[in-house]
């Protein structure tokens, strides 16, 4: 092996090179040996090749052009990659049959602390509602390609805390303030039903603390426990919704759109207040048209007094999640998007966000001023540009949200 070959294998060591198919590995090696690419260039070629394969687009090797100078070669490769990445993609010929289902390992463990804290993705740089999140279960059994949970936990291990109920029972809260606590961040709130007595413990917690707005956020249709038992009035059930196209191709193992809406309808029929999160809204060919169909279905299926909230948000990535996605060797178009810096994270350009959020909000005119609408984890400026109103601070946002939710749930709002 010559000196550069040795160098090449050192270059690829810290890249997902070996997650590539054989043909791409061979191609990158051949070109690297020929052009003596630097570590940065090799890593870039690997990342571009991983992405093109994940997106099921033409690989670099099928559009490669040779030039006398490597700068030109890399420039052409980047131009091709960027042109594919930044155009609205289509899921029309996207083949999910090769999607590798991950085997789940479900364990019951003794956790030291109760997982209660600030929303893990909240940021002072964005307009945030100061949600408190309660980890009833750790990690999720659904497999949404864009989800940041995968970078927090060991993705294949679902952990139940054997002392969750005891810890919750012992939790002391200020009875003179209204709290908003959500259980849908570290895992799905309903997919496990009452496994390990989780829902029973949460119902008891809600009864003991009538000043807590307890939000179950879910992509599941597992509502058996809610239909069987009386649901405390301070529990809010919210479904994350998306178009059938995104659900089929990017939200693996989760309930279909129809099943989610049907479940929300059944729970609302029991008098439980519901809500809907459109997060992430994903850009692809014809996306506005497909989202509009979902918005219309909600307007036709629910009346505004049954619905406490509708929220909008979009894809926002941190580097560890992007790295994990590229190492997973699976099929997804979720990273095939134009990126812009969003407060240290990666997200769509503001122009696309204005388009999607304005379209979403304008699709719910009949519910304006009757249902609480908000943007989740977004730039301050986008609020007035898309919803026509904005909050000066996160505390103002939180207070108005809690006041509106309390009204809808028939609770007294305790100003804090
Ligand atoms: S707005 Fe979204 S990200 Fe921010 S705290 Fe609320 S739920 Fe979390």
Identify the pLDDT of residue 150: 62
Distance 100 CA to ligand 1 centre (A): 31
Separation CA 70–CA 64 (nearest Å): 12
Separation CA 357–CA 338 (nearest Å): 17
Both tokens assigned to 384: 């007035």
Rg (CA), the chain: 23
CATH of the domain spanning 105-409, picked from 3.80.30.30, 1.10.3720.10, 3.40.50.300, 3.40.50.720: 3.80.30.30
Domain boundaries, the chain: 3-86, 105-409
Task: Note the pLDDT tens digit of each residue in 18-65.
Answer: 989 999 999 999 999 999 999 999 999 999 999 999 999 999 999 998
- Whether the per-residue pLDDT at 348 is higher than 90: the answer is yes
Identify the pLDDT of residue 124: 79
Task: Note the pLDDT tens digit of each residue in 185-231.
Answer: 889 999 999 999 999 999 999 999 999 999 999 999 999 999 999 99
Ligand 1 contacts CB of residue 73 (under 6 A): no
Q: Does residue 44 sit in helix, strand or coil?
A: helix
Residue whose CA is at the smallest distance from ligand 1 atom 6: 129
Ligand 1 contacts CB of residue 128 (under 6 A): yes
Q: Decide if 127 contacts 159 (C-beta within 8 A).
A: no
Distance 213 CA to ligand 1 centre (A): 15
Distance 272 CA to ligand 1 centre (A): 23
Phi, psi of 382 (to 5 degrees): -70, -25
Ligand 1 contacts CB of residue 119 (under 6 A): yes
Ligand 1 contacts CB of residue 376 (under 6 A): yes
Q: How many other CB atoms sit within 10 Å of the CB of residue 176? A: 9
Length of the chain: 416
**Adjacency order of strands within the sheet including 179-182:** 116-118, 132-134, 179-182, 212-218, 235-240, 274-281, 307-314, 372-375
Q: Decide if 298 contacts 277 (C-beta within 8 A).
A: no
Ligand 1 contacts CB of residue 131 (under 6 A): yes
What kind and span of H or E run contains 159?
strand 157-161
Distance 91 CA to ligand 1 centre (A): 29
Q: Decide if 187 contacts 152 (C-beta within 8 A).
A: no
Q: How many other CB atoms sit within 10 Å of the CB of residue 18? A: 11
Ligand 1 contacts CB of residue 309 (under 6 A): no
Ligand 1 contacts CB of residue 377 (under 6 A): yes
Q: Give CA separation, 314 vs 278, 354, 361, 384, in Å.
A: 8, 11, 14, 17
Q: Decide if 312 contacts 360 (C-beta within 8 A).
A: yes
Which residues, in sequence order, are CB contacts of 258 under 8 Å at separation 6+?
A: none
Q: Return the best residue to mutate from 123, 180, 376, 383 for the ligand 1 pocket (most ligand atoms within 8 A of CB).
A: 376
Ligand 1 contacts CB of residue 337 (under 6 A): no
Task: Note the pLDDT tens digit of each residue in 384-410.
Answer: 999 999 999 999 999 999 999 999 999
pTM metric for this prediction? 0.94
């Amino acid at each position: 092996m010559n000196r550069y070959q040795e160098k090449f294998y050192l270059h690829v060591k810290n890249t997902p090179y070996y997650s590539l198919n054989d043909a791409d590995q061979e191609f990158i090696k051949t070109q690297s040996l020929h052009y003596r690419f630097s570590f940065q260039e090799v890593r870039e070629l690997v990342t571009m090749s991983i992405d093109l394969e994940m997106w099921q687009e033409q690989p670099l090797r099928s559009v490669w052009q040779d030039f006398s100078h490597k700068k030109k070669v890399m420039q052409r490769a980047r131009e091709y990659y960027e042109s594919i990445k930044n155009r609205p993609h289509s899921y029309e010929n996207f083949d999910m049959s090769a999607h590798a289902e991950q085997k789940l390992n479900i364990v019951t463990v003794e956790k030291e602390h109760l997982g209660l804290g600030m929303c893990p993705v909240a940021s002072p740089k964005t307009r945030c509602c100061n949600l408190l999140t309660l980890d009833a279960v750790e990690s999720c059994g659904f497999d949404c390609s864009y989800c940041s949970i995968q970078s927090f936990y060991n993705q294949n291990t679902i952990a139940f805390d054997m002392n969750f109920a005891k810890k919750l029972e012992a939790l002391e809260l200020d009875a003179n303030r209204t709290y908003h606590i959500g259980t849908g961040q570290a895992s799905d709130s309903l997919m496990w039903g009452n496994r390990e007595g989780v829902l029973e413990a949460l119902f008891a917690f809600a009864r003991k603390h009538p000043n807590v707005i307890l939000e179950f956020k879910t992509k599941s249709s597992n509502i058996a426990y809610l239909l069987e038992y009386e649901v405390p009035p301070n529990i809010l059930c919210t479904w994350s919704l998306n178009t059938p196209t995104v659900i089929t191709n990017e939200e693996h193992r989760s309930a279909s759109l129809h099943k989610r809406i049907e479940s929300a309808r059944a729970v609302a029929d029991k008098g439980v207040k519901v809500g809907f999160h459109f997060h992430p809204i994903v850009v692809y060919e014809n996306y506005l048209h497909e989202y509009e169909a979902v918005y219309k279905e909600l307007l036709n299926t629910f009346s505004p007094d049954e619905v406490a909230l509708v929220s909008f948000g979009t894809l926002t990535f941190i580097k560890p999640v992007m790295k994990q996605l590229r190492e997973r060797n699976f099929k997804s178009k979720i990273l095939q998007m134009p990126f812009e810096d969003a407060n240290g994270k990666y997200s769509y350009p503001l122009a696309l966000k204005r388009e999607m959020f304005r379209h979403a909000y304008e699709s719910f005119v009949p519910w304006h001023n009757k249902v609480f609408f908000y943007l989740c984890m977004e730039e301050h400026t986008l609020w007035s540009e898309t919803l026509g109103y904005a909050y000066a601070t996160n505390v103002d946002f939180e207070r108005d949200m809690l006041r509106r939710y309390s009204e809808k749930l028939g609770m007294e709002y305790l100003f804090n």
